[in-house]
């Protein structure tokens, strides 16, 4: 057995020995779902374990009170490995995206890496990133990007549970604007002519967006809800509000359709006499930069565990704020199978899978894969150099496309 294989065995054994604790914690998080930026229980549970294992932990990061960053550093110089942790749940569905699994895969991998760090050198940085599904302050990863918190790592990694085991797939960017119409209230029976109907404006706005869909490219998606449609049937609505997601393969394309939607809103306001306002300050989600040489490490380590990896005709899981991280540092966001192909994320069936035996096994397998990838990066300078060079080329090509599209 060569030295690298020895480290492979050691990190795997560390994860297997601590697996009962990791599975227990996963089920605890699953049983106590918390919305984005409200994950007090999960944050405390995870950070307490990291502190016990000798990590230096900071909590309340970049306006996200349940965000954390945990670091453990060797006395020897070496690369810095970033591990992404998610732990928020879905409103009304709980952990139907399996973030309890992500949390414990990532924590298990981080502790295993730290167990050999003194010999290998380098540093592991664990990023607790709330609100992947959204929340009062928006998703955390974009806030961390804006604060340059990923500047200290060479790469970032995480694995997402899904119905297939596959390398990172293309994802869609999202802009999350909110729209408001302001009218004037009046009694709907006694003096309707004195009112200005903000609900009429909202309905025209919504219908205008529906009409635009016929001329939209297939991969541009716009979906939203009316969050305030008035106060009572006998009062002309003076205020209405809607929240929308605009998804597209690139962030710039989201912006193009945001401008089109704004014009529809302005037209609806003009037609009804209302005042129109919008806000797109919520953190946006950006598309993934996919680095083949980095993805190959995942494929190889998943194969080493005997997992069947699907590399063709894979379905995208939609959008993820890991895409934001991928545009500033080489990042992987592959998936690991916890259920059959007929089950999709954000369903009751997937929620049950996230606490199943298959879900538990994914925690162990995923943690081993991440830890072994980290060992390879910590011991193979050429491998890390190739990943970083490929990332730089992809980043430069993306920038050139943006400049060309903007004329």
| pLDDT at position 407 | 57
The pLDDT tens digits for 360-372 are: 999 999 999 999 9
Mean pLDDT of 89-110: 97
CA separation for the pair 133, 320 (Å, rounded): 8
The pLDDT tens digits for 369-398 are: 999 999 999 999 999 999 999 999 999 988
Mean pLDDT of 14-31: 98
Mean pLDDT of 139-162: 97
- pLDDT category of residue 33 using cuts at 50, 70 and 90: very high
| pLDDT at position 134 | 85
**CATH architecture for the domain at 3-172+285-402:** 3-Layer(aba) Sandwich (3.40)
Mean pLDDT of 156-179: 96
The pLDDT tens digits for 299-332 are: 999 999 999 999 987 776 589 999 999 999 999 9
Reported as half-sphere exposure (CB side, CA atoms, 13 A), residue 109 has a value of 32
| pLDDT at position 306 | 97
| pLDDT at position 281 | 86
Q: Where are the domains of the chain?
A: 3-172+285-402, 177-279
Mean pLDDT of 88-105: 97
- pLDDT category of residue 137 using cuts at 50, 70 and 90: confident
The pLDDT tens digits for 47-70 are: 999 999 999 999 999 999 999 999
Question: Cα dihedral sign for 88, 158, 347, 255?
Answer: positive
What is the reported pTM?
0.92
| pLDDT at position 316 | 67
- pLDDT category of residue 404 using cuts at 50, 70 and 90: low
| pLDDT at position 275 | 98
| pLDDT at position 95 | 98
What does residue 379 show for φ and ψ, rounded to 5 degrees? -115, -5
Q: What is the mean pLDDT of the chain?
A: 95
Mean pLDDT of 24-37: 97
Mean pLDDT of 78-82: 98
| pLDDT at position 149 | 98
**Other beta carbons within 10 Å of 404:** 8
CATH 3.40.50.970 fits 177-279, yes or no: no
Mean pLDDT of 118-133: 96
CA separation for the pair 95, 88 (Å, rounded): 8
């Amino acid at each position: 057995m060569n030295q690298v294989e020895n480290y492979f065995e050691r990190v795997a054994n560390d994860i297997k020995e601590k697996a009962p604790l990791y599975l227990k914690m996963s089920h605890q998080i699953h049983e106590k779902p918390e919305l984005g930026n409200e994950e007090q229980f999960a944050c405390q549970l995870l950070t307490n374990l990291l502190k016990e294992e000798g990590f230096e932990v900071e909590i309340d990061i970049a306006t996200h009170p349940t965000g954390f960053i945990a670091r453990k550093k060797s006395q020897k110089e070496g690369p810095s490995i970033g591990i992404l942790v998610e732990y928020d749940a879905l409103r009304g569905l709980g952990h139907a995206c399996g973030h309890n699994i992500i949390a414990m895969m990532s924590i298990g991998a981080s502790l295993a890496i730290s167990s050999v760090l003194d010999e290998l050198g380098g540093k592991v940085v664990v990023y607790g990133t709330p609100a992947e599904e959204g929340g009062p302050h928006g998703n955390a990863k974009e806030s961390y990007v804006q604060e340059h918190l990923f500047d200290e790592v060479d790469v970032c990694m995480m694995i997402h549970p899904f119905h297939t085991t596959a390398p990172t797939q293309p994802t869609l960017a999202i802009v999350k604007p909110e729209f408001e119409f302001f009218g004037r209230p009046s009694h709907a029976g006694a003096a309707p002519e004195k009112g200005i109907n903000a609900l009429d404006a909202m309905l025209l706005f919504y219908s205008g967006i529906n009409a635009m869909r016929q001329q939209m490219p297939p991969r541009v998606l716009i979906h939203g809800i009316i969050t305030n449609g008035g106060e009572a049937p006998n009062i002309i609505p003076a205020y209405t509000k809607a929240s929308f997601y605009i998804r597209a393969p690139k962030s710039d394309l989201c912006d193009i359709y945001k401008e089109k939607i704004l014009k529809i809103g302005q037209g609806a306001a003009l037609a009804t006499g209302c005042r129109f306002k919008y806000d797109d300050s919520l953190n946006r989600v950006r598309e993934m930069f996919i680095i083949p040489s980095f993805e190959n490490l995942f494929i190889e380590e998943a194969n080493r565990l005997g997992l069947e990896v699907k590399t063709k005709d894979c379905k995208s899981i939609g959008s993820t704020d890991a895409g934001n991280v991928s545009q500033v540092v080489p990042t992987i966001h592959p998936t690991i199978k916890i259920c059959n192909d007929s089950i999709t994320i954000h369903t009751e069936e997937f929620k049950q899978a996230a606490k199943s035996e298959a879900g538990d096994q994914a925690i162990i397998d995923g943690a081993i894969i991440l830890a072994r990838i980290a060992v390879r990066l910590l011991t193979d300078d050429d491998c890390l150099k190739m990943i970083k060079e490929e990332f730089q080329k992809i980043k430069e090509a993306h920038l050139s496309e943006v400049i060309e599209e903007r004329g």
